[in-house]
């Protein structure tokens, strides 16, 4: 069962415009969420996170919004740059068996073109 869903496998955006990547989750017990960015032939790297006690977290060009009632979060990148072209993974922290573990979505491939 997919507890974290990224329903758009790909997204194409023009340079300078806003990129919006979406993520839905099913488990209301998740209380911390992260976005990771992955370039080809590299491992994922942490981008930004948000706690469930907040509805927004901003870091430079990147902002994550959390709507707990809708079990939905989104990553906004503005302005988008060609170097942002990568796969973006949404992840939720699940507390299970006394330990925390990350539950990842399948990723969204973002292409930023000039």
Partner 1 sequence: DTAVSQTPKYLVTQMGNDKSIKCEQNLGHDTMYWYKQDSKKFLKIMFSYNNKELIINETVPNRFSPKSPDKAHLNLHINSLELGDSAVYFCASSQDQGYSDEQYFGPGTRLTVT
Question: For binding to partner 1 (CB under 8 A), which residues are involved?
Answer: 2, 31-32, 34, 36, 41-46, 49, 51, 87, 89, 91, 93, 95, 97-102, 104-107
The nearer residue to partner 1, 60 or 97, going by C-beta atoms, is 97
The nearer residue to partner 1, 13 or 93, going by C-beta atoms, is 93
Q: How far is the CB of 111 from partner 1 (least distance, A)?
A: 16
The nearer residue to partner 1, 17 or 54, going by C-beta atoms, is 54
Q: How far is the CB of 15 from partner 1 (least distance, A)?
A: 26
- 77-81: long-range pairs with CB below 8 Å, 24+: 77/18, 77/19, 77/20, 77/21, 77/110, 78/17, 78/18, 78/19, 79/15, 79/16, 79/17, 79/18, 80/13, 80/14, 80/15, 80/16, 80/17, 80/18, 80/19, 80/110, 80/112, 81/15, 81/112
């Amino acid at each position: 069962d997919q507890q974290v869903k990224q329903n758009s496998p790909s997204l194409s955006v023009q340079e300078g415009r806003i990129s919006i990547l979406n993520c839905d989750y099913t488990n209301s017990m998740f209380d911390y969420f992260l976005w990771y960015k992955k370039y080809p032939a590299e491992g994922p790297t942490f981008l930004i996170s948000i706690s469930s006690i907040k509805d927004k977290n901003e870091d430079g060009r990147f902002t994550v919004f959390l709507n707990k009632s809708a079990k939905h979060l989104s990553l906004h990148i503005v302005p988008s740059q060609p170097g942002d072209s990568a796969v973006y993974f949404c992840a939720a922290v699940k507390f299970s068996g006394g330990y925390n573990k990350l539950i990842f979505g399948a990723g969204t491939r973002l292409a930023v073109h000039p």
